[in-house]
Amino acid sequence: MVTAPEIRETAAPDGRPRDAVVRDALGVGVAVGLSGFAFGVTAAGAGINTLQACVLSLLVFTGASQFALVGALAAGGNPFTAAAGAFFLGTRNAFYGLRLSELLRLPRAVRPLAAHWVIDETTAVALAQPDRKSARLGFTVTGLTLYVLWNVTTLLGALGAEAIGDTRAWGLDAAGPAVFLALLAPMLKTATERAVAALALVLGLGFLPVLPAGVPVLIAALAAPVVLWMKGRRS
């Protein structure tokens, strides 16, 4: 798990320069923001129209939950089950918010807006900074870049998918899962994280043929507590 360094109110003399923080934040924002294309295409393949896809990106703005939702719908899942799976994945952002509220200490007036940008990428960039000023800058630049690009590319992806017709005929229905796996793979750095991912894969695929669409995602989430429990017993 990524932990934050000691929080300081202002940048230390040897702290990171402003341009370095902005460069890293832009890199993360652009790299991940462009994957909104895949979400737009996946949403169109699931029968979600362009307006609905854009509203999801504007209001939900958490890629894992959005992909889970449209993936379950594309598989013929119940909308309530699909929404439950997406909601479950999104709850992790609440825990990020608890940590970031202490780190950033933003004015009350902007907290509701900032909460909308509390996702994996903005959290990672903020926690990587050595002081509060740099953390605020990294969080803001990452959030703004990612939010704008994600929504623009969602629109372009959805429009493009509608223009070419049946996305499955082009194999584009696999774009969403492929992007999600590409984003996930570099995060699996420890043996515990890899074990959780492997068990989640086994549970998800194992229950896929016998449970309604969307439910295997919820079952796969049990991988984390199971692996942590086993690790605790061994130690």
Quick check: 6 pLDDT over 50?
no
pLDDT > 90 fraction of the chain, expressed in percent and rounded: 34
Give residue-wise pLDDT tens across range 30-52: 988 888 888 898 888 888 899 99
Which residues touch 137 (CB under 8 Å, ≥6 apart)? 18, 21, 22, 25, 129
Quick check: 19 pLDDT over 50?
yes
Across the range 216-224, mean pLDDT stands at: 80
Give residue-wise pLDDT tens across range 160-207: 877 765 555 555 555 556 655 665 666 677 888 888 888 888 888 888
Lowest-pLDDT choice from 3-7, 112-116, 125-129, 157-161: 3-7
CB atoms within 10 A of CB 202: 12
Quick check: 57 pLDDT over 80?
yes
Half-sphere exposure of 24 (CA within 13 A, CB side): 18
Tokens of residue 137, six digits: 């800058």
Tokens of residue 171, six digits: 């194999």
How many Å is the maximal CA-CA distance in the chain? 59
Quick check: 90 pLDDT over 50?
yes
Residue 23's pLDDT band (cuts 50, 70, 90) = very high
Residue 15's pLDDT band (cuts 50, 70, 90) = low
Which residues touch 184 (CB under 8 Å, ≥6 apart)? 197
Tokens of residue 114, six digits: 């900032």
Residue 232's pLDDT band (cuts 50, 70, 90) = confident
Give residue-wise pLDDT tens across range 125-157: 999 999 999 999 999 999 999 999 999 999 998
